[in-house]
Every structure is written in structure tokens, then in C-alpha cells.
Amino acid sequence: MILLPEQPWWQKGVIYQIYPRSFLDTTGNGIGDLRGIIKKLDYLEELGVSGLWLCPIFPSPMYDFGYDTSDYYNIEPLFGSMDLFQEMLLTARKKNIRIILDLALNHTSHLHPWFIESSSSRNNTRSDWYIWANPRPPRRPPNNWKSVFGGSAWTWSEKRKQYYLHSFTPEQPDLNWRNPDVKKELYNIIRFWLEKGADGFRLDVVDFFLKDDRLRSNPLCIGRRPYEMQKHIYDKNRPETIEIMREIRSLVDLYPHKLALGEVAERNTEIAASYYGPASDGLHLNFNFDFLEQPWKAKAFQVSIEDWEKLLGTGNWPVYTLSNHDVPRHFSRYGNCQNRARAAAGMVLTLKGTPVIYYGEELGMPQGRIPRAQIRDPVGKRYWPFHPGRDGSRTPMQWDDSPNAGFTDANPWLPVNPNFPRVNVADQKKDPQSLYHFYRRLIKFRNSSNALQSGIIRFTNPSNSSVLAYQRKVPGENLLILINFSSRDQPVELPSKFVSPHLAFSCPTLEIEAGKKRVLLPPDGFAILQE
Ligand code: NOJ
């Protein structure tokens, strides 16, 4: 008998992303905290998730809400303390829930002591820890690189009479990953949190870690906004970055069952796939932003998934998500419709790969509308009204119908969605037909199905362009998943093995007549049939 290696938890289970500021406030300052997460671990256990990805919880002046870290070895006091972190870890562990930390290692805060020292002169012990360059005469930035968040990627320092690079806001100077001392320190940070017991990392913008060593200007191209008017061949995705991914992987693999999950916000899937490493020795997982940006069309998703499957091959494991803290919530992107939200969840939770769900999507929380005066996100502040910013996907979790949706007793840091009296956890828990219960039942089903956790995926092309149909299969379990992307009934021909199938899961309930070769899939219908 061949003994297959046990599948890691992060392949089998569902990961739930929490934006800690917005989950639950227990200190009365309008900002969520770690105690809030601890309090809701029962809720998360009941939902059936296996891991939590927490957006950054380290000390930060919050210019980019934690993605500007000023101390990598501590917990942000607004969120709690190291003791509280340990308590969260232990309580979660007892419930079989793992904790994934979000590390932003491309850049620090401009208030990080490393940057303060580095910018103090041209000859200090950290003078080369960031990317400094002389001006092009008379005092122009060193090259044409742009910040993702607008404007030049270079800011002038009077003290050094040089520019420093920041791929995001000026308050987020880019670290110099080419400096061995910097790399050593960043790997220490990874080791530090693994030793503390963290179960892995979501690694922010890994594609930006290395820049061209000669700082060459990017070639220009046609694009909608200034950042898109350049081909980003010199300021990110440098081929040598893969070496770093491999080093991180071997470091993380020294600790059993830990996860390195990358963020490469890239529609080019070949580039995104390359972060898994040439011999599957890079990151364990890397997000697929092509999938996340698909329109609500069966064919579009099928093409995206098949492309990703092909690029990853058999040695790499996919990860799928439809929402996160940077993009508008998919509930609203796909039409603010509870039934469609079921179909979307049905897809993400049954594909081959790790599903990552975003807090509140299990309720159908919509994208928030933030009045201008209440915008907090640096992107929104800079670009309103052309871009409202990302606050709308970060509004407080809707726990119940009490003031502020039970999120806080104080003034919430972002306004609560006004629909909270209708859309909240307490009400949905009471209603067996709710979206929450749909997620819960389906996650439960997934957690007990080998085919869904580890089986191969094969699309069956049901000659109906509104329906996505695929099989998930392991020896002894063969499932057919059907998802209707339209708001009409859709007939679907069943593959011969699925004539008179056992209906394992469906929403709304599917009528199946014995011996019939076709079923009528209701609008937004989702079904799992068993051979
Ligand atoms: C990606 C993060 O998801 C986003 O929130 C952040 O602003 C940028 N990286 C910069 O760290």
C-alpha cells in the first residue's frame, strides 16, 4: 500500500480573512481588536473555517492601516498586546483554527527606527537599508517610476539630498532587499513569529521585493491612468525575486504545517504562477487576481480556472477568493443579490484549491458607501471622487441589530452599513434559509468530503453557456457541481454516470426525476450531485 503524505490543513480547510479594525471592538474606541477576535472564535468555529488571515496587527502609525509597520516584533497597542496574541493563538488552536499573520516586508513605515536612522545621513549603519538614489540634474527624481497610489515613487530627503523609493505612499519607504543585512533581519522576523506559534503568513506585495539594480526607467505604454502607462518591467517582478520566494519557503518549511501565501496583484497569470517556484519550491500558495476580477459569467470563470490549473500543473495548489480589503465586495460587484452570492460561494467552496472568504461575505455584506468626510483610506483621500478608495470593503462587521451593528459602543472608525438591521449575524443564525447557513452547511459538507478537499477537477462543458459544471473526484467519491449563472431556469444534460444521482447538496432544492438525463437548474441555482 502506498501511503500518501497527509494533506496540509491549508489545502483541506477554508481560510477566513479578518480586517481586525473592523471585526469587533471590545475596548470602546471604535476600532476592532484581538479580544474581539477571541470573543468571536466560537462563531468562526461554528462556521467551520480552519484558518484566519489577519490583516497586519503590528505597531503602525496607520497611514495605510498597518501596511506601514513601525515594529515587526510587537502587537499594535490599539489591537492588544503580545499576551493577548498568545491567548488568541491558544484559544484558536483548541478549536483547530490556525492563525496566519500578514507581513508587509516590501516597505516599512517612514516612522520605523530603521528608516529614521537611514534617512538621518548618508553614512549611518542603516544608510543602505532603503532604496536611495541621487537626483537626475537639477533635482528630478532618479527615474520615471510611479507609486501604485499615485504620483512619483520617489520622495526627496533634505537631510540626505537624495530621493527614497516608495512603491506605495511616501509614508511607506521600500526596503532594500538586495542588502544582505536587510534580508537577514526580515528572515528573523519570519522566524520570530513562527517561534511564537503563528501558523503562517500572507506576504504583502511580494512582486515588489526586488527592483532593477540599475534603477532603469520603465518603458511607456498606453494605459488609462498614469501608473498603467508604463510597462512595469524594472520596478517589480524582477526574475531574481523567485530566489527570495524559495528562501522564504525553505525557512517556513523548517516548521511543520506552516503556510507562505503570497499576494501578487497581477492579471498576468503566468507571472503570478511563477511565484510558486520553478520546481514548486517557491510560495505554497499565491493569490489569483485574474479569477477575482472576472465578470459574472460561467465561461469567464471556466477559462480563468482552467488557465490557472494549467499553469500550476499537478505540483502546485490553487487558492481562490472573490473579495478582500482592497477590492469592492463581490456581493455588490455581482449585483447585490443573495441568491447570486450563494452561487458564488458554491463555486469558491467547491473548486480544487483553498477557498479564502472575506469577513461578512457569509452574510452578504454589501460594499459600503463612505461619505467624503469619513474617508480614511489614503487612496480615497487622494482620488475621491474618481476613486472612492477602499474603505467601502472595510466597514464594521454586522453582528446584530443593536446600535452600530453590535460592533462597538463608541463611534465606529468607519460608518456601519445602514442595512445592518436587516443583514446581521444574529438574525441570519435564526433563519435556516439564510446565506450564513448556506455557507455553514456547505463548509461542513466540504470539510467531510475528500473529493472537495483533494480531488481532481474536470469541467464537463454542459453545452449551456450559463452553467458552470465540473466534477471533483477521488477514488470512491465522484461529485458533479452545477452552478447556474443566470436568473432563468437552465436545462443541464447529465453525464451518464450522474443519471439518477444522489443529490448531495442543492440550493434552491433541485427536483430530480429518476432516470432522467437532464435537470432543470433554477435561477442562480447551485447543486452538488453524487455519482
Ligand atoms: C497590498 C495590501 O493588500 C494593501 O492593503 C496595501 O495598501 C498595499 N499592499 C501596500 O502595502
Residue 214 is predicted with a pLDDT of 98
Residue 463 is predicted with a pLDDT of 79
Residue 511 is predicted with a pLDDT of 84
Strand pairing of 477-484 and 490-493?
A: unpaired
Let me know if 377 is a catalytic residue.
no
Domains of the chain, each with CATH number or no CATH: 9-110+177-444 (3.20.20.80), 456-530 (2.60.40.1180)
Residue 144 is predicted with a pLDDT of 98
Q: Report CA(389)–ligand 1 centroid distance (Å).
A: 12
Angstrom distance (rounded) from CA 195 to CA 199: 10
Return the DSSP state at 155: E
Q: Report CA(72)–ligand 1 centroid distance (Å).
A: 16
Give the side-chain half-sphere CA count within 13 A for 260. Answer: 28
pLDDT in tens, the chain (531 residues): 555 568 999 999 999 999 999 999 999 999 999 999 999 999 999 999 999 999 999 999 999 999 999 999 999 999 999 999 999 999 999 999 999 999 999 999 999 999 999 999 999 999 999 999 999 999 999 999 999 999 999 999 999 999 999 999 999 999 999 999 999 999 999 999 999 999 999 999 999 999 999 999 999 999 999 999 999 999 999 999 999 999 999 999 999 999 999 999 999 999 999 999 999 999 999 999 999 999 999 999 999 999 999 999 999 999 999 999 999 999 999 999 999 999 999 999 999 999 999 999 999 999 999 999 999 999 999 999 999 999 999 999 999 999 999 999 999 999 999 999 999 999 999 999 999 999 999 999 999 999 999 999 999 977 799 999 999 999 999 999 999 999 999 999 999 898 888 899 999 988 888 788 889 999 999 999 999
Q: Which of 33, 263, 361, 362 is catalytic?
A: 263
Which atom of ligand 1 is the closest one to the Cα of 390? 5
| 3-state SS, residue 302 | helix
What's at 113, amino acid-wise?
Answer: P
Angstrom distance (rounded) from CA 112 to CA 68: 9
Q: Report CA(425)–ligand 1 centroid distance (Å).
A: 28
Q: What is the SS3 string spanning 169-190?
A: CCCCCEECCCCHHHHHHHHHHH
Let me know if 477 is a catalytic residue.
no
Residue appearing with cell numbers 525575486: 241
| φ, ψ of residue 141 in degrees (nearest 5) | -55, 155
Mutation test residue for ligand 1: of 53, 64, 102, the one with most atoms within 8 Å of CB:
64
Mutation test residue for ligand 1: of 65, 68, 167, 168, the one with most atoms within 8 Å of CB:
168
User: Facing residues of 107 across strands?
Assistant: 174
Residue 37's CB is within 10 A of a number of other CB atoms, namely 25
Residue 491 is predicted with a pLDDT of 93
Q: Cβ contacts of residue 402 below 8 Å, gap of 6+?
A: none
Angstrom distance (rounded) from CA 520 to CA 488: 10
Nearest to 528 by CA among 475, 466, 458, 452: 452
